[in-house]
Chain A
Amino acid sequence: MITPREPTDLSVEVDLLDGVDVGLRSLFRRLGPIIPADPHVLVTMWPDRRPPTSDELARGIDRLLKRRVLRIIFLAGEPHLTALPRYDTASDGRAGMEHEPAPELVAKGSAPAALGAGAAAAGSTSAEADASAEQMQLELAIDAERERVVLYRVIIVMEVLAALVFARFLWL
């Protein structure tokens, strides 16, 4: 029987968040870039042998949303989760959340040089991720503006039709 873990224990919280993080990335790899934002549904598809409870999963997802590695989008009115580009869903392990210099880069060679190379690599990767995120936001904004344009066009057509009916009622 699965018993809920004590939420006040900080190390347990960190373990839980790591578990949710790894599980979610596995789900993204398996199901694609968009998954339902319903913890009850996600628990049923959980790749781990010991899935978190839906409460734990909801808590973990909230944390990841606050870290801005996940985002909620609405498809047909239903909330779905999508990973921002910074959230590397293509690799295994825990390094995907924040782009940190690879440990072997820091361990080999002289420490300052390795640190510099690692920082530069991390910086460029981070800049690319930022650029990609901005690009995605711009495309989303364009989609939203296009929807507004369509909506206003529909409103104008309706108003013109109403004006024609009105004119006929007044003068004909």
Chain B
Amino acid sequence: MTSERDTVRRELRAVASEARWLKRIATSLFVLEVIIGLGYLVVHGYVHLPL
């Protein structure tokens, strides 16, 4: 029973770790796309920065 529970705990840790990594990747991609999008708007003069 205990070993079975340990197995389940290990599996839970592995799945949770995978979920954390995927979340990091998804967040990074999203931030990168937003930055590139804003950069595009600035470079092509759609948005004027008060510089």
Contacts and interface: CB of A to CB of B under 8 A. Distances in A.
Interface of A: 131, 134-135, 138-139, 141-142, 145-146, 148-149, 152-153, 155-156, 159-160, 162-163, 166, 170
Across the A-B interface, the 3 shortest Cβ-Cβ residue pairs: A152-B22, A145-B15, A148-B19
How many of chain B's residues touch chain A, expressed as a range? 20 to 34
Contacts of B40: 170
Given A131-B5, A135-B4, A166-B33, A142 B26 contact: no
Nearest to B1: A131
A11 B19 CA distance: 51
B36 A166 contact: yes
Interface string B16-51: 101100110110011001001100100000000000
A156 B29 contact: yes
Given A162-B33, A170-B40, A149 B15 contact: yes
Contacts, number: 52
Contacts of A153: 22
Contact of A156 (B12, B18, B25): B25
Determine chain B's interface SS by DSSP, over half rule.
Answer: helix
29 contacts: A131-B1, A131-B5, A134-B5, A135-B5, A135-B8, A138-B5, A138-B9, A139-B8, A142-B11, A142-B12, A142-B15, A145-B12, A148-B19, A148-B23, A149-B15, A149-B18, A149-B22, A152-B22, A152-B23, A152-B26, A153-B22, A156-B22, A156-B29, A159-B26, A159-B30, A159-B33, A160-B29, A163-B29, A170-B40
